[in-house]
A and B are shown apart, each in its own frame.
Chain A
């Protein structure tokens, strides 16, 4: 194994200074993804800056109904927080749908947003991969792509983002805060992940050397009645093949407010804005939900072996919205 330097930091400015503009240095959060990638040779950092002791491990519940979640809050703590469960239940459900208890105890919010795709070609350094080695090609398009993207992909990369948490955050308009040597910045999650295009190796809009410090969820009363449902190839400990985060507020039978995001369909958590627009004002019911799903999924460009995801996402969205509206009506 290749040797690397390891340093632990306790304040944000120290972390930024240590990382500097060294392209071979990485921030280490829970290490649940980075360490695996180091073992398989996908990541070969020369330096690790351990940020787990940064004072970013708090969840602040704003009086306005929103939340501010520190970047080093663990997945377990996030899912267990009473205000997360009360204000954004789909977020807690999404986190608990991911990984295992042990991994959730280690994994952090910031790291979760930055985790890499689990595409088998990306994870195998003996294979081409445009995300890992720009310009080397994408064998998934002609090869194994059962669990690859149907939305927003390109001829250069069809990998999906693996996060469950990110799907719920996308539904609730999360904003990512970060710090750089030149000062702080913010990115709405909708702008955080870059389009795939011909640069699949460029994944986020974070400036070089930036450190995620937290995630802010603006107040969203609709989110108090929300749900995350994940479909995977076994009952536990597997990445999604399709997931939905949904919240809906029905008044007098009509959709007053709705939030929808899809997981495992694109290189980022996929906010289903077309479906949302279609639904606002519509008579709540399976027919309208299906029409909205179809509207969202007209943009889908499935490959030969992942076309099932179009049907899956439609069924999932209809099922979750139906469940939510029926529960609210009781």
Chain B
């Protein structure tokens, strides 16, 4: 759609009009090369060997027989691996995941822990040798059973998220409330499984380490590899041009670290690609949660007390919190407010950020509880939210930069036909199907992090943007092209955007829905600077003119405010209580997400998040086996995600959400689409059947048993 002609002189308005991906033709014709595709001379292949026990020590690794197998070049394990330095805190304020700091000791803290890397001339030889490698363990008893009330649970202060936030006296306000909701909710272990598995190729080139990778931030990965291997940061280059999905799991992982280690030991290029099954234990996941929500309200629905407690398991070697309880700190006010995130360490892999960490499971519990309060009070679920809409941050007391949640509900209600809804459950039928509708609110923080960018004006009238951004399938490259074009006042086809190369300098990752906001800020600053310089001096030398930006200072100067995107989710479902089948018939999401850069890809992001919400509500669940401590059916046959047939018409749109005081106005749309989606579906299932489902996924057996009054499994 980038059809503007070259004669155009001053061009604005690229931002806000739909553009197909600038790299689209490469992707759909198969010429786009992903990390595992790029050929290298003399390439060797590494294959990871993972522990089969859930806790214990490695007694021995029988490398000798494997080293005699065809093509095998080496076996790296804790007995011979080079030292890695892991005592540091990275860009995101946390230590590296211990599963990525490979082969440093003989302890096994969970099933699927990396114990060795077999390197061979071909991938097939490496795999066969890895599957042949015998590792002896001294097994110890393990505990992988997660449940509310686990005795080892404790409150945990995560970076940027204190465990506990409180105001007022919850017990007193509950006691004075006319209406009380007190329920437990649970969500299962869920896995982000990007289509493209993790893949990295590492090689030393003239004293420089070069890694071609699939990640969410090449500078992030480069800096951490430099720390791990005690290298000068400038001697590490990481590139990641195309990425087939990230969702939070593509940071520093065992594949890059073991590839670098093997390339260093063997002094030749080494590629490590994870299998789907390996991804289920090596790249993090969303931990299960159990949550308790207590709401106390006056008869008119005004909240007097709001308590949300969330518990999730983490590994014994890393404290990762899935902050489900934090949602309430932004969404709703109450006279007394109490939210706590707690952890329990188990012998399981370390969880990580997965699309809307905290908000996705937390909104399921909180937005379900709101619906239960609506039911109890006889107040319409949207009217109940209007009644409890805060003017300032409920806990922080800070103003909102913009808060258009009610506008989302209003527009959503209009388009969904909410006004005609009979609130009574279990009344509508279409053949064997009971029909119902539900709604839920959503928010996601809108942050920015310091980034640098360079924009070069070339003598031929074109421009090149260089920034260590990552396009993990979101359309970020295209968005930055439009942002740069507007800032330069040229047509987008005169702008080339180069990303995914740590040599372009420090920039934030594609994560936290902060990428496009953070990068656009840096690109805009550099482009404006460049335009000013070009205005002063019209002649462009052969090497071009480059302007650089660093947004650290500007971001530091941002006023303290509650900055978030908001949204309203609507769902209609059909439920057959005689078989337990649940089908979503339609969904609508209306969002207030700041300035929308590219409506085409933004809508795609939102629809993708909502689709994942269907998956979360109805399908996704990893089953951890108590006996072995590992997962059962850890592949796409066993771990169900929504198929096309499960995904009906999904509409996503947005309301005006401008903030004149914000220097970029962009908020980010990567995560908010999943927030509240599962609650809207669960609330619709209640409306259809009259039965509350407080445990996800809403499986057929649960619906069937609930329908007959038996207890859920």
Contacts and interface: CB of A to CB of B under 8 A. Distances in A.
A118 interface: yes
Contacts of B128: 1-2
A242 B699 CA distance: 13
Interface string B695-713: 0000111001100100001
Interface string A107-128: 0000000000010110110110
Interface in A115-170: 118, 120-121, 123-124, 126-127, 139, 142-144, 146
Contact of A308 (B626, B646, B713): B713
Classify the secondary structure of B's interface with A. loop
B701 A127 contact: no
Interface in B625-660: 625-628, 630, 632-635, 637-638, 640, 642-646
A275 to B, nearest CB: 17
Given A144-B625, A238-B640, A312 B700 contact: yes
Interface stretch (B165-173, B318-326, B574-582, B591-599): B574-582
Contacts of A144: 623, 625, 632-633
A120 B583 contact: no
B579 A308 contact: no
Interface stretch (A5-13, A53-61, A196-204, A228-236): A228-236
B131 interface: yes
B579 A231 contact: yes
A118 B633 CA distance: 9
Contacts, number: 101
Nearest to A41: B131
Contacts of A236: 643-646
Contacts of B713: 146, 304-305, 308
How many of chain B's residues touch chain A, expressed as a range?
Answer: 35 or more
A305 B580 CA distance: 15
* Among B638, B699, B708: residue with most chain A CB under 10 A: B638
B704 A139 contact: no
B637 A124 contact: no
B632 A121 contact: yes
Contact of B700 (A1, A36, A241, A305): A241
How many of chain A's residues touch chain B, expressed as a range?
Answer: 35 or more
Nearest to B615: A234
Contacts of B124: 1
A231 B580 contact: yes
B633 A120 contact: yes
A36 B630 CA distance: 21
A162 to B, nearest CB: 10
B705 A126 contact: no
A305 B128 CA distance: 37
A234 B640 contact: yes
Contacts of A118: 633, 637-638
A18 interface: no
Interface in B28-53: 52
A20 B644 CA distance: 44
A316 B640 contact: no
B619 interface: yes
A300 interface: no
A143 B700 CA distance: 19
A107 B646 CA distance: 24
A231 B581 contact: yes
Contact of A316 (B579, B630, B645, B699): B579
B626 A233 contact: no
B146 to A, nearest CB: 15
A102 B128 CA distance: 29
B632 A311 contact: no
B640 A233 contact: yes
Nearest to B578: A315
Given A144-B633, A235-B643, 4 more contacts: A126-B52, A311-B704, A316-B578, A319-B578
Interface of A: 1-2, 36, 41, 118, 120-121, 123-124, 126-127, 139, 142-144, 146, 231-238, 241-242, 304-306, 308, 311-312, 315-316, 319
7 A-B pairs with least C-beta separation = A120-B633, A236-B645, A235-B645, A120-B632, A308-B701, A315-B578, A144-B632
